[in-house]
Amino acid sequence: MEKFEALPQDKSNATRLRGLTKAVVAFIGSNFNRRITLRDLEAETGSNSFRIIRAFRRDLGTTPHAYLIELRVARAAELLLEGEPAAEIASEVGFVDQSHLTRHFKRQCGKTPRRFLCDRARPEAVPTGA
């Protein structure tokens, strides 16, 4: 299973998330396709940015920004498999442009969106019985 297939908002994590982190995860999940700042998270939760980042790191082991990027890349992978063009996907999931999507996609998945699609389209090699 490739890394992108496990969406960051996995339901198994939901039970262990505490209030502040749960609120941030819900907000990011609903707004991942737009620009989200720490000030937005502060306004949404009523907490300061330091507490938000500490709570997020404690509960999920990552920062809110890294989680946001992970969520965007996971959604981009889904849309790529549905056949949408990468340039349209980039703006749809909240990246500035296609190169921004490609850079984060490669960093997270280890391959470019094009290589990802090529690898998915190629049938698995069937070992011959010897």
Domain count, the chain: 1
Nearest alpha-carbon partner for 59 in 124, 95, 8: 8
Identify the weakest region by mean pLDDT among 34-38, 102-106, 111-115, 121-125.
121-125
Q: Which residue segment(s) compose the domain that 77 sits in?
A: 13-121
Q: Give me the CATH number covering residue 52.
A: 1.10.10.60
Quick: pLDDT tens for 68-106. Answer: 999 999 999 999 999 999 999 999 999 999 999 999 999
Quick: pLDDT tens for 21-68. Answer: 999 999 999 999 999 999 999 999 999 999 999 999 999 999 999 999
Does residue 11 carry a pLDDT above 80? no
Nearest alpha-carbon partner for 64 in 23, 96, 103: 23
Q: Is residue 41 part of a domain?
A: yes
Q: Is residue 129 part of a domain?
A: no
Q: What is the pLDDT of residue 2?
A: 47
Identify the H or E element spanning 115. Answer: helix 113-121
